[in-house]
Amino acid sequence: MRPSEVDRWGCIAAPRRWQDCIMAGALPSRVVFDVNGTLSDLSPMQEYFTRRGLPRPSASLWFATVLRDGFALAAAGAFQPFSALAEAAARELFWPTLGEAESRRAAAEVMAGFAELSVHPDVAGGVAALGRLGCKLAALTNGSASNAAALLERAGLRDAFGPVLSVDDAGAWKPERGAYELAARVLDQRPEELLLVAAHPWDIDGAGRAGLATAWLNRAGGPYPGVFRAPDLVVRDLGALADELG
């Protein structure tokens, strides 16, 4: 391999596949993690809905509604922060059962619970393994940077990460291209030098279209939706990601 043929990862540029970088023993300049559902475990959110009499799938419906509204605003060229959409979506779900005043209180409980989530069980070990490989880590969230940083602090992982970025600074939710371009700009890297890790196929698709390499974190072991751009890597947990990169 001649030096003129390699980029900053030490791997041959397009049209060779991104996996060639790993085979060449190179690492991405930054591994950029999605936060909500990728690092954070959303399953405790069910309790905030069931204890108010709503069915268990309500937490998933709530999160999907938040994403829907964020994506819709981005498609229209508009923006609202995660917290505003999340609280509004919770009130909408609670209102038919609880009425106006109580639905506001229940939505406030949801937001407080969301701010106290923990990371998935595989995260701490996976982050440590990536650190031993020399990977530089960052985060890019559709939520607030402060909530994401607090999540990492509670897990004792904040020092393992560099910048914790929010789409608030891009003015558009992922998977809009500008969100990923924000990460590349702040990290002072070309998009193709970044590896985005996410549990959400829509995030993988958006990052891939923006030029980033992608790793789908498929903890559930389900199929990847064929309507989206395929990931460069598929792993069951963060330990497996470290194995792939190592």
Report yes or no: 9 and 25 within 8 Å, Cβ to Cβ: no
At residue 166, φ and ψ (nearest 5 deg) are -125, 145
Amino acid at 220: A
pLDDT tens digits along 145-168: 999 999 999 999 999 999 999 999
pLDDT of residue 10: 35
Which residue, among 157, 81, 150, 139, has the nearest Cα to 115 in the 3D structure?
A: 150
Model confidence pLDDT, tens digit, residues 196-227: 999 999 999 999 999 999 999 999 999 999 99
| 36 pLDDT more than 50 | yes
Mean of all residue pLDDT scores within the chain? 91
**CATH: 3.30.530.20, 3.40.50.1000, 3.40.350.10, 3.40.50.300. Which one for 3-40+119-245?**
3.40.50.1000
For every residue of 35-72, DSSP letters joined together read: -TTTTB--GGGHHHHHTTT--TTHHHHHHHHHHHHHHH
Task: Provide the pLDDT for residue 1.
Answer: 26
Residues 81-131: tens digit of each pLDDT: 999 999 999 999 999 999 999 999 999 999 999 999 999 999 999 999 999
Angle among Cα 128, 129, 134 to the nearest 5 degrees reads 95
Could you state, in order of their start, the residue ranges of all structural domains in the chain? 3-40+119-245, 43-114
